[in-house]
Amino acid sequence: MRSLFDESHTVQSDEPENYKGKLLIIRSEVLKEEYRTPENQLFFAVSGSGCEPYSDDRTVFGSFLNGEKTHLQRSDLIGIIADEYIPNWAKERAEQLVSETEKQKTAPKNSINFNM
């Protein structure tokens, strides 16, 4: 079994980070045992007040790299994964998610988005 991500794999900062648009590591204990793999620990944050480090609402909306959208609490997350620990496949998938997020931002507000 490959090692799970932990605090040593995160961006180190003296200040709490804004999570919006970042690839995050989920605490392994939050995941069901059968999903405790490095692949399932990665989460792309898109929005939510929980992206802000000092918000009272701690909800972070985003998706797993397999495309499944959900929300987590900020306390479910270890932090932002440092670039040197991101596997190549995860970088590619995260870039796709960034692109999809940008497309959704630029879509006309009164249009229907069938890619939800």
Phi, psi of 106 (to 5 degrees): -90, -5
User: What does the pLDDT profile of the chain (116 residues) look like in tens digits?
Assistant: 579 999 999 999 888 899 999 999 999 999 999 999 999 999 999 999 999 999 888 999 999 998 899 999 999 999 999 999 999 999 999 888 878 767 766 666 555 555 54
Task: Report the CATH architecture of 7-106.
Answer: Roll (2.30)
What are the residue ranges spanned by the domains of the chain? 7-106
| Report field, pTM of the whole predicted structure over 0.85 | no
**H and E: helices and strands count for the chain:** 1, 5
CB of 76 closer than 8 Å to CB of 40: no
